[in-house]
Structure 1
């Protein structure tokens, strides 16, 4: 998979999946071909059979295929979904309201981007959805819980459930910001959520300062009385508990916040996954193992890197990358992992590294998320050079766009 031509809105950073030079080809069952010209903003279609491009929010005047799609839908096994990054959450929800989408293999494409989906674009689509969802429709700090709103009814919450299933089943992508207690209730029912699981999830749902107050009360050490009062008032607890009562009070609050207040969403998400999740997660321990396996940690991310440096310069370059990874905090590490793989959790077995020679302003890496594979320049003079270029690249709004054509 070589680089023949590139477009980018951020210097010369290449970020993408598999590609062809003059058109992007998606292959469905029996190698039936759908060709999409990169010269059009929306897309012109040539549909042979068994595959079509789904669009949300576009009229028939904007997007008119050459054949009657209604006659072709019956035999379709692969569907390609066209998404706008600026409206991805709403578009994904519209697609996943269809109950039969769980039985369909999906491919994704972003409007005005040239990435060909060989897993990397799909991982990016699911990661982008959950990033938007947790920001707009969930509450909490490290762990988050869906928040009910007038905009989300039964159909929308069921669509969220299907997105959760599809991302994991096809790409092993699971959003680990979703509180474990909530997901255990989704899979095995709320009676399977033990008091300890409720407490553990709740302590990462609240802020670090609130967690510190609770733990100080339980230990019987000094704490800020005003902080405790604020915490209790926030969750409508009108009793100041004694030290011996604190643990049980916290479990009661946790059950109310994590389970009861989101029960409508929980039931809808659980309903579409009934009999599906239990295959992969027969017990609560298997769910907790999932969180541990996917959670990015510095040693695990470094272990993913597969490189065979042959020169002093290549050894220095991979050493700079290791050092850069070790300097990331949790959020920065997840952003870096997403840049390299399309996913902010660990759902790939390795990241292949090939060394290239680039100089000056063009000394930026090429990212092929389908592998995933990183083309890493071996021409950095020192670590400050490496760090400044990578920090600038990751801070760019365009760093996640698929711009290989």
Structure 2
């Protein structure tokens, strides 16, 4: 928790590494360039951080201060470092990205991600549209209205998408390629012309909702405090033309 006393500060201890993330009442956050995701999510695990005017002090891996008192390093700069690292290490998917769950990324870290999203939106209109709409809608409203079949087709590798889209247009007499795809997604139901659309919708629901449900529900109270004011249509419209 960030103290109101400007003289006080707190340390948020990080795993086994020697450095720590420090957040002061002035809203200063110290992060390491080689551990931006760890340090920022640790700092944002404190619910009071979203109400602070933040400044940032970044250290190089060898420990030297890169920018004093946040000079030349604002929140937008930090987000531009945070999101690529988060996407590469904590999500999966070909186009749209879905969070993965890791044992070392606990509840407080997911809440921290939610606060980073909220703070980015409130301060900068900065919205991570690389995260799948179906996941984000679930994380705000508890369920999704997105067409999970179409979302699934956007999420999978291009080679799989071409096979499935061709089968939706004209079901093949030889289903070997379809069978291979279904095995990869652990579906034992043989694909047919009649059940293929329904099964792809189910695949999408499993990937976008069920597998990442813990992350979505952990972030939900945080995200809803900011995005709950939007209707579903307004929220999904953020994907049309937000700052990324």
> Normalised by the shorter chain, which TM-score bucket?
0.7 to 0.9
Match of 1:185 in 2: 138
CA positional deviation for 1:114: 3.6
Match of 1:171 in 2: 124
> How many Å separate the matches in 2 of 1:53 and 1:204?
46
Report if the CA contact (8 A) 2:57-2:73 is conserved.
no
Is 2:241 the counterpart of 1:282?
no
Distance 1:232 1:51, change over 3 A: farther
CA positional deviation for 1:95: 0.6
Match of 1:359 in 2: none
Match of 1:200 in 2: 150
Q: Indicate which of 209, 214, 220 corresponds to 2:159.
A: 209
Q: Which has the higher contact order (CA 8 A, sep 6+)?
A: 1
Q: Indicate which of 218, 222, 241 corresponds to 1:272.
A: 222
CA offsets, 1:53-94, max 9 Å, x none?
Answer: 877669xxx99xxxxx9xxx6xx4x41212111011111121
> How many Å separate the matches in 2 of 1:179 and 1:195?
10
Match of 2:199 in 1: 249
Report if the CA contact (8 A) 2:29-2:55 is conserved.
yes
Match of 1:128 in 2: 81
Is 2:44 the counterpart of 1:96?
yes
**SS of aligned partner of 1:209:** helix
CA positional deviation for 1:187: 1.5
CA positional deviation for 1:248: 0.9
> How many Å separate the matches in 1 of 2:164 and 2:40?
39
Is 2:96 the counterpart of 1:143?
yes
* 1:277-356 pair list within 5 angstroms: 277-279=227-229, 281-283=230-232, 285-294=233-242, 345=244
> How many Å separate the matches in 2 of 1:199 and 1:272?
28
Aligned length: 229
CA positional deviation for 1:219: 0.1
Match of 1:236 in 2: 186
CA offsets, 1:238-282, max 9 Å, x none?
Answer: 122212321111111111111011111110011222332122x32
Match of 1:107 in 2: 55
Distance 1:222 1:155, change over 3 A: same
> How many Å separate the matches in 2 of 1:118 and 1:181?
38
Q: How big is the alpha-carbon RMSD for the aligned residues of Structure 1 and Structure 2? A: 2.9
TM-score of the two chains, using structure 2 as the length reference: 0.82
CA positional deviation for 1:182: 0.6
> How many Å separate the matches in 2 of 1:87 and 1:195?
34
TM-score of the two chains, using structure 1 as the length reference: 0.51
Higher CA-based Rg: 1
Report if the CA contact (8 A) 2:142-2:217 is conserved.
no
Is 2:82 the counterpart of 1:82?
no
> How many Å separate the matches in 1 of 2:204 and 2:176?
21
**SS of aligned partner of 1:82:** strand
Query: Structure 2: any 5+ residue segments left out of the alignment?
Result: 60-64
> How many Å separate the matches in 2 of 1:85 and 1:183?
28
Report if the CA contact (8 A) 1:54-1:81 is conserved.
no
CA positional deviation for 1:200: 2.9
